Amino acid sequence: MGEEVGGAAGGGAAGEGGNDLDFEGWTCPAPLRNTPTVVMGHGGGGAMSAELVESLFLPAYGGAARAELGDAAVLPPVAGRLAFSTDSYVVKPMFFPGGSIGDLAVNGTVNDLAMAGAQPLYLSTAYILAEGTAISDIGRVATAVGKAAEQAGVQLVTGDTKVVDHGSGDGIYVNTAGVGVIPDGVVIGPERARPGDVVLVSGAIGLHGVAVMSCREGLEFSTPVESDSAPLHGLVADMLATGVDVHVLRDPTRGGLSASLNEIARGSGVGVDLVERDLPIPEEVRDACGLLGLDPLQVANEGKLVAMVPADGADAVLEAMRAHPFGAGACRIGTVVEDHPRMVVARTGLGGTRVIDLPIGEQLPRIC
Amino acid sequence: MKYLDEFSNPDLARRLLDQIHAVTTRPWAMMEVCGGQTHSIIRHGIDQLLPEGVEMIHGPGCPVCVTPLETIDRALAIARRPDVIFCSFGDMLRVPGSHDDLFTVKSEGGDVRVVYSPLDALQVARDNPDKQVVFFGIGFETTAPANAMTVHQARQQGIPNFSLLVSHVLVPPAIAAIMESPTCRVQAFLAAGHVCSVMGTSEYPPLAEKYGVPIVVTGFEPLDILEGIRKTVVQLEEGRHELENAYPRAVPAEGNPAAVAMLRDVFEVTDRTWRGIGMIPGSGWRLSSRYADFDAELRFEVTDIQTDESPLCRSGEVLQGLIKPHECSAFGKECTPRNPLGATMVSSEGACAAYYAYRRLDLVSAGGA
Amino acid sequence: MCLAVPGRVVEVFDESGTTMAQVDFGGVRKKVCLAYLPETGVDEYVIVHVGFAIQRLDEESAKETLATFERLGILEEEFGDGFEAAAREKGVQL
């Protein structure tokens, strides 16, 4: 379908294969009637909707899209248990250092599947666009979706677009749902942490949250920190290939490491002991959090995982993680204990202890 | 970060702790006035490492916690107005008013924005000339210069749609009020370092003299706090009561004269009610008459404020150091950070929130909450 | 009350009549109002609270303070570590 558009493009940047599109300074190909912004008609299901799909989404997705991109994707049978996940993405701003809402929407759902031990296969993409959103922004987001899907090796098989009144939404919201297949014998879940397990994290924490906050209205600061957005199923596959019985996997996104560890502690009815000085918090993250009064443990990550593995297999898993590009900074940060069930406790640098609590809501910069 | 990491060094912390243990012969009760220090003490577990008997009483120095209920209610009423963009530090959004908080107002369509600096709110005013932009100017002496400069610039640059809802509080009158209280157990004070960075130290020797208490200007990193405690214990053991500066890298005796001059121009001293504590004479700043045009209280006549504090909340006693947070019957039950009855459970500087966040382990093992 | 952090001034400039600075907090940079410390030069450290430099950080004093803490340890080594033993006796975990 992308090819049909190529012939009709009038001065657009649409190239062969779609994924090389440059949406910086992008102008709309002819069939989009040269509206520079989204109008209600783009979500009406008529000709304008079709044009948006054929002239924007399909070329932007490139090789990652199934040609039909219809209402229902008909897929071949798979061997094994299915993992199925959905997530909506409303990040503000849509573009931030190291990524955009587009790659988050792919990697986030891919990672949710990966944390169940699944190999992700197919994704749906659904957009809710606010009237007045620049078509070029949608182009940039869709291109990012296509690139991320290609990198993750998942196919974009079905989708939807709706437009809401100006003021009802905010730019671009994306929902992705994904399906993956879990290899036989793999059982991973938040209820499987056992006392004695070692807690591993795949690398530096706090990067995504700090990158997003650095360009949030009212907070702007400059930082070398970029979002860590990345698909983690390859890393998970390498960890599982060690043969070690990985008990729990979790991607510490919203709420950061605090939220993930608390959820696991509650899910498994165990305590978690952390050693504060072993936490891989980059100096830039620590400093940005210091400036804003935030706790790095509560800041979001989009390309990290935390794992609970039996002590006798921890070294093997750690080695496998470090050999993978997305796990190069992997390290041990604590242990699962019988004491203080359902609570996460850190030993402070000075030798005291503190409870690491489940964050309440949104992290807000504070003066105190 | 340079000048932060060095002052968290565990080896040096241990040396300071050794010293504190070595010089302590008796129980002592000292108050860290500032909520930032409370947070740091609990966050790093410093109180767990002190000699038995050396007790840290957590003071009222959390501006979010002590901002009077009436002012919060007034802020909520102003923020609800459709012509207003209400800007605030992030801390204030969850502070409970009589019935709800700024988050609720936002969810109901109020334009409530979190800013990092009051200057950001002034920019919002420039960008939205058809809206009234109000900044919630709370804080101690540390924060007041920022708010003063902002309102000064608003006047100088002629930004008529900006105004400030002011509720500033001052440390020295609070120290005096605590010492005057008949139930006072405080034998010494760690004074708030960054307050003194602005104001200097001249207000404190008369207080040390009058009440016979050591006052040690103290910073916020673990080593700073330990050094403040060490100097305090040494004074107590030796029977001295003087002003000492344990934070000289950030506190010159004269403070910041340019900031003080601006404060004198923009603000004037007023009586101020501290939430949970009551009225302390001369303990606040309000906009001086020269800046009355920028006073949100005058610009938006918000009347009919009927305040309604939770009868269960004992934050006043916590703020005065009379009880520890977990001694309140609502602690961890009716009152949690998710559903706070009082402001001390909201701010991460508030003693109740700090105890809830970091100390439930001890409380659980002690059979408490 | 007062979350204030030290940072290094990397650039001083004027913005509509107000002295402002770019301040580096270990890689994180933020625009800060320098009006209360207008004499501050590039590479000096200032203490920043809600976007305002409220005080200069006296680097000499910082070094002296740290040196004092270091000497506490040396004294101990010379005179033996009796304090620590006493602390341990009390069951305090250091």
Given B15, B21, B197, which is nearest C86 (Cβ)?
B21
Q: Is the pLDDT of residue C60 over 50?
A: yes
In a domain, C18, yes or no: yes
Rounded to two decimals, the ipTM of the complex is: 0.90
What are B360's two structure tokens? Answer: 């439930």
For the ranges A129-143, A301-315, B67-81, C72-86, which has the lowest average pLDDT? C72-86
| Residues in A touching C2 (Cβ below 8 Å) | 367-368
Binding-face residues of C in 38-77 toward A, CB within 8 A: 48-50
Q: Is the pLDDT of residue B291 over 90?
A: yes
Q: Is B25 exposed, middle or buried (0-12, 13-18, 19+ CB in 10 A)?
A: exposed
| Residues in C touching A351 (Cβ below 8 Å) | 93-94
Where in chain B do CATH 3.40.50.11740 domains reside? 1-309
Range(s) of the domain holding residue C68: 60-89
CATH topology of domain B1-309: Rossmann fold (3.40.50)
CA-CA distances (angstroms) from residue B128 to B84, B223, B298? 10, 45, 21
**Distance between CA B201 and CA B217 in Å, rounded?**
8
Asked if B139's CB is within 8 angstroms of A349's CB, the reply is no
CA atoms within 13 A on the CB side of C38: 9
What is the DSSP track for A279-308? Answer: S---HHHHHHHHHHT--GGGS--SS--EEE
At residue B2, the pLDDT reads 81
Q: Is C90 exposed, middle or buried (0-12, 13-18, 19+ CB in 10 A)?
A: exposed
| Residues in B touching C81 (Cβ below 8 Å) | 18
At residue A357, the pLDDT reads 83
| Residues in A touching B356 (Cβ below 8 Å) | 357
pLDDT digits (tens, 9 = 90+) for B193-238: 999 999 999 999 999 999 999 999 999 999 999 999 999 999 999 9
Per cent of chain A over pLDDT 90 is 68
Torsion (CA) B110, B114, B119, B122 in degrees, nearest 10: -10
Asked if B359's CB is within 8 angstroms of A293's CB, the reply is no
> What is the total residue count of chain A?
368
Given A225, A287, A351, which is nearest C25 (Cβ)?
A287
Task: Find, in chain A, the residue whose alpha carbon is nearest to that of C28.
Answer: A223
| Residues in C touching B66 (Cβ below 8 Å) | none
In a domain, C94, yes or no: no
| Residues in C touching A367 (Cβ below 8 Å) | 1-3, 49-50
Asked if C90's CB is within 8 angstroms of B250's CB, the reply is no
> What is the total residue count of chain C?
94
Asked if A284's CB is within 8 angstroms of C26's CB, the reply is yes
**Distance between CA B2 and CA A131 in Å, rounded?**
47
At residue A1, the pLDDT reads 34
- At C13, which CATH number? 2.30.30.140
- B336 contact partners, CB below 8 Å, separation of at least 6: B345, B356
Given A214, A288, A367, which is nearest C50 (Cβ)?
A367
Q: Provide CATH code, domain A13-182.
A: 3.30.1330.10
For the ranges B76-85, B244-253, B315-324, C54-63, which has the lowest average pLDDT? B315-324
- A341 contact partners, CB below 8 Å, separation of at least 6: A265, A269, A270, A271
At residue B365, the pLDDT reads 58
**Distance between CA A171 and CA A88 in Å, rounded?**
14
**Distance between CA B177 and CA B195 in Å, rounded?**
18
Residue B309 or residue A148, greater confidence: A148
Residue B92 is classified by DSSP as: G
Q: How much is the average pLDDT of A280-307?
A: 92
Same domain flag for C15 and C37: yes
| Residues in C touching B256 (Cβ below 8 Å) | 36-37, 54-55
Q: How much is the average pLDDT of A139-151?
A: 96
Using pLDDT thresholds of 50, 70 and 90, give the confidence band for residue A27.
very low
Q: How much is the average pLDDT of A271-297?
A: 92
Q: How far is A225 from chain C (nearest CA, A)?
A: 8
Q: Which of B56, B67, B107, B114 to mutate to test the interface with A (most CBs of A within 10 A)?
A: B114
Q: How far is C50 from chain A (nearest CA, A)?
A: 7
Asked if A368's CB is within 8 angstroms of C3's CB, the reply is yes
> What is the total residue count of chain B?
369
Q: Is the pLDDT of residue B368 over 80?
A: no
Type of residue at B324 = K
Q: Is the whole-model pTM more than 0.90? A: no
| Residues in A touching C1 (Cβ below 8 Å) | 367-368
- CB pairs below 8 Å between B and C: how many? 164
Q: Is the pLDDT of residue B90 over 90?
A: no
Q: Where are the beta strands (DSSP E) in A37-171?
A: 81-89, 95-96, 99-100, 119-130, 155-164
Q: How far is C90 from chain A (nearest CA, A)?
A: 16
Residue A367 or residue C31, greater confidence: C31
Task: Find, in chain C, the residue whose alpha carbon is nearest to that of B2.
Answer: C26
At residue B362, the pLDDT reads 67
CA atoms within 13 A on the CB side of B204: 27
Q: How far is C23 from chain A (nearest CA, A)?
A: 10
Residue (of A210, A202, A203, A182) closest to A287 by Cα position:
A210
Q: Is the pLDDT of residue C80 over 50?
A: no
Report the b/e string of B137-174 with b at 16+ CB within 10 A. bbbbbbbbbbbbbbbbbbeeeebebbbbbbbbbbbbbb
Asked if A290's CB is within 8 angstroms of B4's CB, the reply is yes
Same domain flag for C28 and C52: yes
β pairing state of A99-100 and A95-96: antiparallel
At residue C16, the pLDDT reads 84
In a domain, C34, yes or no: yes
For the ranges A245-254, A282-291, B194-203, B340-349, which has the lowest average pLDDT? B340-349
Same domain flag for C34 and C22: yes
Same domain flag for C53 and C64: no
Helix (H) or strand (E) holding A231: none
Tell whether omega for the bond before A93 is within 30 degrees of 0, i.e. cis: yes
Task: Find, in chain B, the residue whose alpha carbon is nearest to that of A350.
Answer: B10
pLDDT digits (tens, 9 = 90+) for B113-168: 999 999 999 999 999 999 999 999 999 999 999 999 999 999 999 999 999 999 99
Q: Please calculate the CA angle B42-B240-B183 and round it to the nearest 5 degrees.
A: 55
For the ranges A271-285, B163-177, B235-249, B289-303, which has the lowest average pLDDT? B289-303
In a domain, C44, yes or no: yes
Q: How much is the average pLDDT of C53-75?
A: 89
CA-CA distances (angstroms) from residue B77 to B287, B310, C7, C22? 20, 19, 38, 37
Decide if A98 contacts A223 (C-beta within 8 A): no
Q: Is the pLDDT of residue C86 over 70?
A: no
Q: How much is the average pLDDT of B188-192?
A: 97
pLDDT digits (tens, 9 = 90+) for B349-361: 688 888 887 776 6
Asked if C70's CB is within 8 angstroms of B250's CB, the reply is no
Same domain flag for C66 and C49: no
Same domain flag for C71 and C51: no
| Chain B partners (3+ C-beta pairs within 8 A) | A, C
Q: How far is C92 from chain A (nearest CA, A)?
A: 10
Residue A357 is classified by DSSP as: P
Asked if the C-beta of C1 comes within 8 angstroms of chain A's C-beta atoms, the answer is yes
Using pLDDT thresholds of 50, 70 and 90, give the confidence band for residue C84.
low
At residue A10, the pLDDT reads 33
What are A207's two structure tokens? Answer: 């990067």
Same domain flag for C25 and C49: yes
| Residues in B touching A287 (Cβ below 8 Å) | 1
Using pLDDT thresholds of 50, 70 and 90, give the confidence band for residue A23.
low
β pairing state of B278-287 and B162-169: antiparallel
Q: How far is B19 from chain C (nearest CA, A)?
A: 7
Q: Provide CATH code, domain A198-356.
A: 3.90.650.10
Where in chain A do CATH 3.30.1330.10 domains reside? 13-182
Residue A252 is classified by DSSP as: -
Phi, psi angles (nearest 5°) of residue B289: -60, -25
Q: How much is the average pLDDT of A284-311?
A: 93
Terminal-residue alpha carbon distance, chain C: 28
At residue C42, the pLDDT reads 97
At residue A9, the pLDDT reads 33
Same domain flag for C36 and C69: no
Given A287, A367, A368, which is nearest C27 (Cβ)?
A287
Asked if C51's CB is within 8 angstroms of B146's CB, the reply is yes
Q: Please calculate the CA angle A116-A196-A328 and round it to the nearest 5 degrees.
A: 55
Asked if A366's CB is within 8 angstroms of B36's CB, the reply is no
Decide if A140 contacts A56 (C-beta within 8 A): no
Asked if C28's CB is within 8 angstroms of A222's CB, the reply is yes
Cα A256–chain centre separation: 13
Q: How far is C12 from chain B (nearest CA, A)?
A: 17
Q: Which of A212, A222, A363 to mutate to test the interface with C (most CBs of C within 10 A)?
A: A222
Asked if the C-beta of C27 comes within 8 angstroms of chain A's C-beta atoms, the answer is yes
In a domain, C43, yes or no: yes
Query: Into how many domains does chain C fold?
Result: 2
| Residues in B touching C17 (Cβ below 8 Å) | 156
**Distance between CA B303 and CA B286 in Å, rounded?**
18
For the ranges A97-101, A350-354, B252-256, which has the lowest average pLDDT? A350-354
For the ranges A18-22, A102-106, B28-32, B199-203, which has the lowest average pLDDT? A18-22
For chain A, the farthest-separated pair of C-alpha atoms sits apart, in whole angstroms, at 69
Using pLDDT thresholds of 50, 70 and 90, give the confidence band for residue A19.
very low
At residue A7, the pLDDT reads 31
pLDDT digits (tens, 9 = 90+) for B300-345: 987 667 777 788 888 888 877 888 899 999 998 889 887 888 878 8
Task: Find, in chain A, the residue whose alpha carbon is nearest to that of C50.
Answer: A367
For the ranges A196-205, A272-281, B40-49, B152-161, which has the lowest average pLDDT? B40-49
| Region at A358 (left for phi over 0; alpha for psi -120 to 50; beta for the rest) | beta
Asked if A349's CB is within 8 angstroms of B10's CB, the reply is yes
Q: How much is the average pLDDT of A331-344?
A: 96
pLDDT digits (tens, 9 = 90+) for A219-243: 788 888 999 999 999 999 999 999 9
Same domain flag for C19 and C42: yes
Asked if B227's CB is within 8 angstroms of C45's CB, the reply is no
**Distance between CA A312 and CA A335 in Å, rounded?**
13
Helix (H) or strand (E) holding B310: none
- A74 contact partners, CB below 8 Å, separation of at least 6: none
| Residues in C touching A224 (Cβ below 8 Å) | 27
